[in-house]
Amino acid sequence: MENDHNNQPPDSNCAPVSACEIDRLAADVALGAVRFTRQLRLRRRQTHTLTLTQFSILTVLRRDGPMTPSALAEAERVQLPSITRATHAPEAAGFITRVPYASSTRITGLALTAAGVTTLADDAQARHDWASRSPRLTWHPNTATLCAPRRAS
């Protein structure tokens, strides 16, 4: 299937992208993604003392519900001792709690608390607020064209 980059996109806000610009655009997008991710991480660090791993744990518990530390380690693709260490701070801060596990009295699960839900929501809102103030690119999936928004004259 031929990829024709020289056709005019249906949206007049974008100029066509020539085949020779694809590598440069790909490098620019990759660099932009790295910088964007760095800025999101900086925003997170300014608001919370939790690590990215600990935020990831809260996110998994919000998405999947209460689970054993072993299941959480599997979901995070890390070893159980890593999850054990990583859950100490969120548990001490009241973002997660231990709950009885239905199939065994010896095993406890981990669950997200209301404070954990609020922390995730606040963090997402702070990142969204920052991102909405940042310059953006417009993606046109019908033409696979990436272009900057048109500037006012």
**With respect to CATH, is domain 49-125 assigned 1.10.10.10?**
yes
CA distance 140 to 130: 23
Residue 47's nearest CA partner among 113, 130, 134 is 130
Tell me, what's the pLDDT at 132?
73
Tell me, what's the pLDDT at 143?
46
Tell me, what's the pLDDT at 3?
46
Return averaged pLDDT per consecutive 10 residues of the chain, 153 residues in all.
Answer: 48 63 80 76 67 91 94 94 94 94 80 94 81 58 49 49
